[in-house]
């Protein structure tokens, strides 16, 4: 019983964590600028998410698999817009 409650709670927290990517992505799209957003940080985060997905598959954890697929999708979208709206510096 307690393990089911914890599993549900962690799914909700995972979804909430995934939702945290949406405001940053929307701000980049709205302003058409990713001036202060680190592309390197999000590439590292994406690498970690992919590895968590593989681990979830390895241990057959539906929670890890589903949440990391969502996180990878949202992070990939964010990275796309970071580089789409990156200002080119001319030296």
Domains and CATH numbers, the chain: 2-84 (1.20.1280.290)
Residue 87 confidence (pLDDT): 76
Closest alpha carbon to 49 in 21, 23, 27: 21
Residue 89 confidence (pLDDT): 63
CA atoms within 13 A of residue 55's CA, in its CB half-sphere:
10
Residue 90 confidence (pLDDT): 61
Residue 1 confidence (pLDDT): 83
Mark the ranges of the chain whose per-residue pLDDT is less than 70.
Answer: 88-91
How far is C-alpha 26 from the geometric centre of its chain's CA atoms?
14
Element holding 26 (H helix, E strand): helix 21-31
Phi, then psi, of 35 in degrees rounded to 5: -50, -50
Give yes or no for a contact between 72 and 46, defined as CB atoms under 8 angstroms apart: yes
Residue 63 confidence (pLDDT): 87
């Amino acid at each position: 019983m307690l393990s089911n409650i914890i599993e549900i709670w962690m799914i909700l927290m995972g979804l909430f964590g995934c939702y945290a990517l949406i405001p940053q992505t929307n701000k980049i799209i709205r302003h058409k600028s990713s001036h202060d957003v680190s592309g390197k940080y999000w590439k590292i985060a994406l690498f970690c998410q992919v590895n968590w997905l593989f681990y979830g598959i390895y241990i057959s954890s539906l929670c890890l698999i589903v949440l990391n697929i969502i996180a990878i999708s949202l992070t990939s979208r964010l990275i796309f817009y970071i580089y789409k709206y990156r200002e080119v510096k001319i030296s």
